[in-house]
Each structure stands twice: as structure tokens, then as C-alpha cells.
Amino acid sequence: MQHRWVKPGHLILLTAYHQRYSSDFLLPMGRLREHRSAAARADTIVVTKCPFDLSPSERRMIKDELGPKEHQEVCFSYEDYPGLVELSTGNQVDWKTFTADQALLVTGIADPSTLLSFLENKVEQLDHIAFRDHQDFTASDMERILSQFSMMKGETTLVLTTEKDAQRIVKWMQNEKFASLPVYVILHRMQWFDKDREIIENRLNGFIKAYSGNDSLH
């Protein structure tokens, strides 16, 4: 959105369900890097991280709040966590067979609230270490994780983390001190509600056909 040198053919604006730009403010008061009116440049607006049971009335309320222009379409998506992968072995685990009475969740993402809500019904007791976004895990960070994990006394105790964070944690699993940590990576997918999948596919397919059919671009 802020890269003025890049001229996108179809601009998709993402806004989180719990942090919609329509009620946000410019930095430093809020999280916006430019005024809310800049959303008019987008071709498609996607409201992400919606509750799975998003109602038709709430969809209408959010659309009214965002006030899309004539050329814009508003779509809705939700977060899906289809399973887990054991970091050390790569073995996949289904939630149906997953058992843990205590787990330590380690995240270095901007907003882990959706994941925390999901795990409420999966783990009896959940502890959480929330690092800053894009955390590059250091030895002292890993010591903190190991220390907190060692104090947990559950019969089945695991360390859970995100796919994003696992990419930075995996290097430490070669270290003998941390190799015994039972780290499981929570798989994550963004999913469309059925009607929204159809809308976004039609819009993007239409753009691709128009783009590929433009002789001036060849």
C-alpha cells in the first residue's frame, strides 16, 4: 500500500477482524501508516481472522463500517489450524489424537490472540511466552523457554509454536541443551468462507484474463 513506485494491477488490502483500519488511527496514536481514506486505492478488501461462526448480520455491519467504494468488494476469511508437526522428526499429529494436559506456547508474532482462543479447548493448562514480532531467538531466549518448561509438572507437557517461529527455533534444536525439548509446530492456513472464495477467485481470474489479454503488455 505504501510503495508508490510499484503500480499494482489489483491491490488487495488486508484488515484484521479485531483491528479493522476503520476504527484505527495514524502512528503514533494507532497502527496506521497513512490515513484511513487511503483504503480507497484497494480493489479488494479482505477482513482476516474472523470467527468461524461469523453471522450474515455481522458481515453487513462490517461492510457498512468499511464503506467500500463502487469498484471494491469486501471478502472475509478465518484462521485454520489443521494439525501439528513434531519439530525434531517432522511427524504430523492430528488434533483428534493430540493429548497434552499442559503446554508452553512460544510466539514471536504480532497478534497471537486467535491462536490462543483456538488452543483454549485443546490444552488443559496453557502457559504463554510472547516475544516481540519477528523475534530472532537468542541463546538467552531459549534458556528462558527451557527454564519455564522445566517448571511445568504436567503428565504430558509440550512446547507449542507457530510455523513462522519454528523457522528460527529449529537451529537451536541442534544444541544438546535444547535438543530434548518436545517442540510441536502448529500448522496454520488462511481459509475462505465458501461465498468469499467464489468472489475472490472470480475477481482474480477476471484480472488475470484482462492482464494476459492486453497486447500492450507483451
Domain boundaries, the chain: 12-79+190-217, 82-187
Assign 218 a pLDDT band (cuts: 50, 70, 90). very low
Q: Give tens-digit pLDDT for 6-52.
A: 888 899 999 999 999 999 999 999 989 899 999 999 999 999 999 99
Q: Please give the model's pTM, rounded to 2 decimal places.
A: 0.84
What is the C-alpha R_g of the chain? 21
Distant-in-sequence, close-in-space partners of 162: CB < 8 Å, separation ≥ 6? 107, 108, 109, 112, 115, 185, 186, 188
Region 94-106: mean pLDDT is 93
> What pLDDT, on a 0 to 100 scale, did the predictor assign at position 214?
58
* Backbone dihedral region for residue 49 (phi beyond 0: left; psi -120 to 50: alpha; all else: beta): left
Q: In what order do the strands lie in the sheet with 44-50?
A: 12-16, 44-50, 73-80, 189-192
Q: In what order do the strands lie in the sheet with 102-107?
A: 92-93, 84-86, 183-186, 157-162, 102-107, 125-130
What CATH topology corresponds to 82-187? Rossmann fold (3.40.50)
Cell digits of residue 51: 470467527
> What pLDDT, on a 0 to 100 scale, did the predictor assign at position 78?
96
Phi and psi for 143 in degrees, rounded to 5? -60, -40
